[in-house]
Structure 1
Amino acid sequence: MSVDLPRLASWLRCPVCGADLEPVDRLTMGCKNGHRHDVNKRGYVSLLGSGTKLVGDTAEMLDARDLVLEGGAYSPIAEAVASTVAAAIGGAEAVASTVAAAIGGADPISAASGVAPGAAGVASRATGSRPGTRILDAGAGTGYYLRAALAAVPSAAGLALDLSPQAVARAVRSSGRVDGVVADTWRPLPVRSSIADAVLDVFAPRNLPEFHRVLRPGGALVVVVPRADHLASLRVDGTMLDIPSDKAEDVIRASEPLYALHSREPVAYDLAVPGALRAALVGMGPSARHADAHHVDARDADARHAEARHAAAHHADARDADAESPSADSDLAADSTRVSVDVLRLTRR
């Protein structure tokens, strides 16, 4: 794929000295102080530098994430993110079908009862977004939520920032409007100051001072954090990390010196989780690093047993109509989980 080097460089500053980066030749960018950085032919640059001990998501984790996200399991969250970004930037006319086409998601709610407050679709907004609008996704993964935001702001360009080169490569490949940089969110970001109109942080580490620096004055930080009951039924066997009781409040308190809370929107619904999706939900996030072989084997065995019980219940229902209602309740409990998050819009002070 071709690289829009001037566009990519326009986002970035040198990780060595902090000076703006500019194109030097076809696959090289550099700063006025002589530091040079090679650009990958796949359309992104690594500005990770030395000393980072953290490891990005593996190919297996990214495959699991694709299964979850591209199948539409989290599409109401993506729609809420897109709607929040459009409202914050003040200028996109978007509808749910536009976002759904961009993120490739299906409706995950039809298979199980539930509602997604405020996320049934992306509201239309009439004023056109101004040229040069920029959206940075910190911890972008494969770019799923960034694509949703870009669909809601048609003139915007996006930058996918992630620790995983494989994730950044997938994000860049997913859209011609996305550039990519490999970087560590916990360190000073190799991104120019006051460059972004919005920063996304979806289930990702938060470097609030650096997000403040790269946002323009009045820019929006859109944060998605899980609520205590998020995927609770999948946590009972200990293969997934626990969630603090009110993570959103913790983020709001920590951000107070630098940001003002504009809105807090809950998104919650029941999600059908057949065996493959159940395993992918565990395998796509940090919990995957904490699940040892014993836990994985136990989880797989539990999934097989659950499927066997489901099949047995189905046949029993066919033989005994009186058992129909209790069996349906049991199936719903075993084969669905609760998706529950808060979408925060914080305004840079």
Structure 2
Amino acid sequence: MIIDLRSDTVTKPTEGMLDAMMSAEVGDDVFKEDPTVNRLEERLAKMFGKPKALFFPSGSMANQTALKLHTNPSEQVICDKYAHIYNYEAGGASFNSGISCHLIHGHRGMFTASQVKEAINPDAFYYSQTTLVEVENTTNKGGGACWDFDELKKIKTVCDDHNLGYHLDGARLWNALVEKGETTQQYGDLFDTISVCLSKGLGCPIGSVLIGDEEVMKNAIRVRKILGGNMRQIGYLAAAGLYALDHHIDRLKEDHKKARDIGAVLSELSIISKVEPIETNIVIFELESHVDESEFLQQLLNKDIRIISMGSNKLRMVTHLDYTNAMHERLLDVLNDF
């Protein structure tokens, strides 16, 4: 039994999801003639109270498209130093959009409205023009932390006061919604554009969707084409997304509980110096300085347990749909033996 906790992207489609995919009605999406894709886009747009939604092969492409839609070359986006758009999208902000990132030193990937206000460049020709604020919820490098919604509203006020766009990287927004009891409509009311992932947490093999207001989204399909993201009969993939929305959101609570169980065991181990607060499905912990990280990882591998290193003796586990109760009990037993 291999226990893979490297990410919530390692899941495989369930039997029900595969059935939905194989029975999907498809067409040519470049001509907007794939009925299943159209249905998924319409459903997500309605969920967030937005007029437009567009299917993408990846979350990075959806985010990169959003950056392009909100900015012009030489401009600047405000984001946290831990932001996915800065750390894990291969420098796409500069490569695709010709923009720079003003990094905020927040707390676990989250910052305040006052920090945003301070990060806005002066209105002088020799400064890069600030045009966008980007938020990630939940925060990946912040250990699956959920933003305080009141703070997000305060940031929105700053954006409105300074004519800034407001984009949400909602790769794991579903986890935040379940944990905090918030709604998609609340987020749709707040942000100009929102990207949501269908593979992280929801178990789809591929797919993200960019959702937004009419004016900012009007060139989204053009940018997707430029980035090579136009596809043909992708209703098979969209069907997986529709199935996930029906069956895989509420169960995220199970992933959160298992993550907290893991954190509780790790906190009792003498070889662990720190476990980050656990709110959703990500567990980040740090080994004591005398513990060899490579050796620790190898010991887990020898027991068919895969986790990921974040460097500097920090490690990450992510619970997910394919992490069963039996796997959970096995992992806790192994950890208790350290």
**Structures share a fold, TM > 0.5?**
no
For CA contacts below 8 A with separation 6 or more, give which structure has more relative contact order.
2
Bigger-Rg structure (1/2): 1
Give TM-score, length-normalised by structure 1. 0.30
